[in-house]
Amino acid sequence: MPIESMQEFKKEWAWHVLFWLGYLLIKIFIVEFFREDFGVVLLVELISLPLKMFLVYVLIFLLIPRYLLNKHYLEFAAWLVILVVFAAFARRVMDIYITYPISMLYFDKADFWDLGTAFRNLVFVYPVVGLGTAIYLMSHWIKDYQMRTQLQQEKLQAELKYLKAQVHPHFLFNTINNIYSLSLDQSPKTSQALLELSDLLSYMLYECNVDRISLKKEIELIENYINLERLRYSDRLELQFKVKGDLDTVKVAPLILLPFVDNCFKHGAGDSIAECFVHFNLKVENQKMLLELRNSVAEVSADPGGKSGIGLSNVKKRLEREYPGQYQLSINQTDETFEVKLTIDLEDEKA
């Protein structure tokens, strides 16, 4: 008997006892109770009970786990035939040498090797064997389904943590590059940039390690990031930043919007030496968030989908994991502009 099956039996032995007691109560005290020979029927049933228990446990603890669940169907079928023949033989032995001598009620003149009688008497054995086996298979299917569901959820959570972890080094890489550029020019804005970066790191380390965060805090993070960029671009950057709606009433996945903004500067304005623009428009209405981003494209611009475009690739995967069937994302690029439209249904994300 497999060790796992024995351990399962030890954990659930009470359910096994209840099953057999329930079977006896239904079979004896409901189906057969009004028979005149009730005492004999009860005795005969108790005599045959060990055989039925043996058949059930051979099936659920040996044949099914070893052969059926491992998809060894031919071996299972062969052993099942052997078990049926054994049950017919064992039942015949019990009838001839135990049951029949106790009561003439069950006596017949059939020979011991009367195969018709032997297999016909299995009708008194296999209903409960089939019921016990069916319950075991259903229980196994439920446990297997729950385990697969749990593993799938754990896998999704692991993927989400991995994708979220990628945001941090990617974002920091871009931001440090910006501050490095300021330091090369010995700009007095470098200290202010470092202060802004400190605030961003504090947010990432202590506030965004949750499943959902207030949209207001997410927007504050984006504003801090944009302030860092404005220090570097000064007057050559045309910035529009508009937010409409009650941000306190909804929550979003942390760092879900930042990669889009980061992309505006890294692959648009960031690569241009001429005047550039970034337009950020966000609206919350009827528990829906609509984000529209539009930025200029440099004459020589890195491909957002290439090596440096890990941010957008990352956020697309996160959207699929965090908001399956709840978002719409549209990205369009021309020779002069790069546009992003994102709609997320936040109906279930109320604060």
For residue 248, give the CATH number of its domain. Answer: 3.30.565.10
Residue 192 lies in a domain: yes
pLDDT at 280: 94
Q: Which residues pair with 74 in a beta bridge?
A: none
pLDDT in tens, the chain (351 residues): 455 555 555 567 777 788 878 777 777 666 555 566 666 677 777 778 888 888 888 888 888 888 888 888 899 899 988 888 888 788 878 777 777 776 655 555 556 666 666 666 666 676 777 778 888 888 878 888 788 878 777 766 666 566 556 555 666 776 787 788 778 877 777 887 788 778 777 777 777 777 788 899 889 888 888 887 777 676 778 889 999 988 888 898 888 888 888 888 776 665 555 678 899 999 998 889 999 999 888 765 444 444 444 567 778 888 888 898 899 999 998 888 899 999 999 865 544
What's the length of the chain? 351
Residue 150 lies in a domain: no
Give the list of residues 6+ apart from residue 327 with CB closer than 8 angstroms, or none: 319, 342, 343, 344, 345
Which residue range forms the structural domain that includes residue 73?
A: 3-124
Considering the domain architecture, whether residues 183 and 269 belong to the same structural domain is answered as yes
Considering the domain architecture, whether residues 176 and 263 belong to the same structural domain is answered as yes
Residue 55 lies in a domain: yes
Which tokens sit at 224? 């801090």
d(CA 57, CA 159): 41
Concatenate the DSSP letters of all residues of 290-317 into one string.
EEEEEEE--SS---TTSTTTHHHHHHHH
Four-CA torsion 151, 156, 162, 164, nearest 10 degrees? -150
Considering the domain architecture, whether residues 192 and 305 belong to the same structural domain is answered as yes
Considering the domain architecture, whether residues 20 and 74 belong to the same structural domain is answered as yes
DSSP run (H or E) holding 344: strand 337-345
Considering the domain architecture, whether residues 162 and 65 belong to the same structural domain is answered as no
Which tokens sit at 66? 């070893």
Considering the domain architecture, whether residues 172 and 266 belong to the same structural domain is answered as yes
What is the phi/psi pair of residue 40, to 5°? -70, -40
Considering the domain architecture, whether residues 120 and 161 belong to the same structural domain is answered as no
Residue 207 lies in a domain: yes
Provide the domain count of the chain.
Answer: 2
Residue with tokens 């569901």: 149
Tell me the whole-structure pTM to 2 decimals.
0.52
What is the phi/psi pair of residue 256, to 5°? -85, -25
Residue 135 lies in a domain: no
d(CA 280, CA 278): 7
Distance of CA 13 to the CA centre of its chain: 30
Q: Which residues pair with 250 in a beta bridge?
A: 350
d(CA 82, CA 85): 5
Residue 142 lies in a domain: no
Residue 149 lies in a domain: no
d(CA 129, CA 51): 10
pLDDT at 302: 46
